[in-house]
Amino acid sequence: MSERLPKITVGLLFGGRSAEHEVSRASAANVLRALDPAKYNIVLIGLARDGRWLLCNAGNGAGTGAAAITISEDGVPLALVPGGKGQLLRFAEGEQKGAAPHVDVIFPVLHGPNGEDGTIQGALELADVPYVGSSVMGSAAAMDKDVAKRLARDAGLPVVPFATLTAQTPLDYATVVRAVGSSDVFVKPANLGSSVGISRARSAEEFAQSCAFAFRFDCKILAERCIDHAREIECSVLEDEKGYVRASSLGEIVPADRHGFYSYEAKYTDSKGARLIIPADVPPERTECIQQLAIKTFQVLGCGGLARVDFFLKGEEIFVNEVNTLPGFTSISMYPKLWEASGVSQSDLMDILIAHALSRHARRQHPVERGA
């Protein structure tokens, strides 16, 4: 009879200060349910909207069907020790109150700025603790849509024509139309996900309104050509502990007509806001092409562990749209659903992601000698 391996303690990090706080809490609840309690001890670490790290109650219902994990304002404040290899400290009224649970690996279920953009990844690097997902560079590059599109374009990947605007370098509607080759554009924040801050503009007046809306969420925004009547195709990418990268089956999102595009409301607040078609009805040769583009995009941007790569498909044309390095893990999210359709259960998916995090950290601790 084989000896049972010791449990791995996973710090589940969720919440955050971005506009995607609620989505993160819902994703974390689903990840918690997918983590096998026979293999893992779970420490719930909620990031409050004001930036505090709070130890959350593991018995708050998330494991028994709750839609989201609650972050209680009276939770015990925590701090991650720099160089502490996963050691957490408890604080109360500004004073250290002793050690909290030690974690073996952090699973950041965070979306948007201060979670998906390399900032939390940098903190985890300083703490010398393994963590799930892309490293600092890959997270930052993929999060900034302007940077990601420039890197993808320079690598020869097909991207939607775009123009970048900041408060210091504004562009008028006519200039944007010439740059992207269309008078019909989508305007979006450069560093946000879940379709927050996105709107469509077909005139100078609408463009000004769309820019004002997007600038509420970011100091850099993009205007992209609208690929009208394009299909929205998504592909999940997964890297295992040996560094092997694979792509899932494809999924298609069909937004309800009343939304016009896959908006935040269509994703999260309208139960009938969109249909998810898995697998997508795409011919085998085109499916393989999209899968290979997803893997190449993942590698060009320096991603690690996981990502969801989104595409537009119009006739024979394929466009890389966006890359999400910490995609949604809610009960209706495409990333886990695509892997389930590809034969990887959510529980197995958690095992692969955690094994990758531990293996990558070990390699960084003991790099291979040159010439060995």
Q: Domains of the chain: which residue ranges?
A: 8-131, 161-225, 229-365
Whether residue 259 is predicted with pLDDT greater than 50 in this model: the reply is no
Residue 89 or 27, more confident: 27
Q: DSSP readout, 104-159?
A: SEEEEE--STTTSSSHHHHHHHHTT--BSS--HHHHHHHHSHHHHHHHHHHTT--B
Band (372; pLDDT cuts 50, 70, 90)? very low
pLDDT at 264: 52
Residue 305 or 276, more confident: 305
pLDDT at 260: 55
Per cent of the chain over pLDDT 90 is: 66
**Residue tagged 């806001």 (tokens):** 273
pLDDT at 3: 58
SS3 (DSSP) at 174: helix
User: Minimum mean pLDDT among 24-28, 156-160, 205-209, 272-276: which range?
Assistant: 272-276
pLDDT at 193: 64
What value does the mean pLDDT take over residues 38-52? 92
Which fold, 8-131? Rossmann fold (3.40.50)
Whether residue 323 is predicted with pLDDT greater than 90 in this model: the reply is yes
Band (275; pLDDT cuts 50, 70, 90)? confident
CATH architecture classification, 161-225: 2-Layer Sandwich (3.30)
Quick check: 184 and 228 in contact, CB under 8 A? Answer: yes
267 CB-side CA count, 13 A: 20
User: Mind listing the pLDDT tens digit for each residue in 188-238?
Assistant: 999 876 577 899 999 999 999 999 999 998 899 999 999 988 999 999 999
Band (1; pLDDT cuts 50, 70, 90)? very low
pLDDT at 371: 47
User: Mind listing the pLDDT tens digit for each residue in 168-192?
Assistant: 988 999 999 999 999 999 999 998 7
* Total-model pTM: 0.88
Band (60; pLDDT cuts 50, 70, 90)? very low
User: Minimum mean pLDDT among 24-38, 66-80, 200-214, 323-337: which range?
Assistant: 66-80
What value does the mean pLDDT take over residues 25-34? 93
Find the Cα–Cα–Cα–Cα dihedral 241, 246, 249, 251, rounded to 10°. Answer: 90
Quick check: 193 and 321 in contact, CB under 8 A? Answer: no
Strands (E), the chain: 8-15, 40-47, 53-55, 76-80, 87-92, 95-102, 105-109, 162-166, 185-189, 199-201, 220-225, 231-239, 245-255, 274-277, 306-314, 317-324
What value does the mean pLDDT take over residues 330-334? 84
Strands (E), 142-227: 162-166, 185-189, 199-201, 220-225
Match domain 229-365 to its CATH number in 3.30.470.20, 3.40.50.2000, 3.40.640.10, 1.10.1510.10.
3.30.470.20
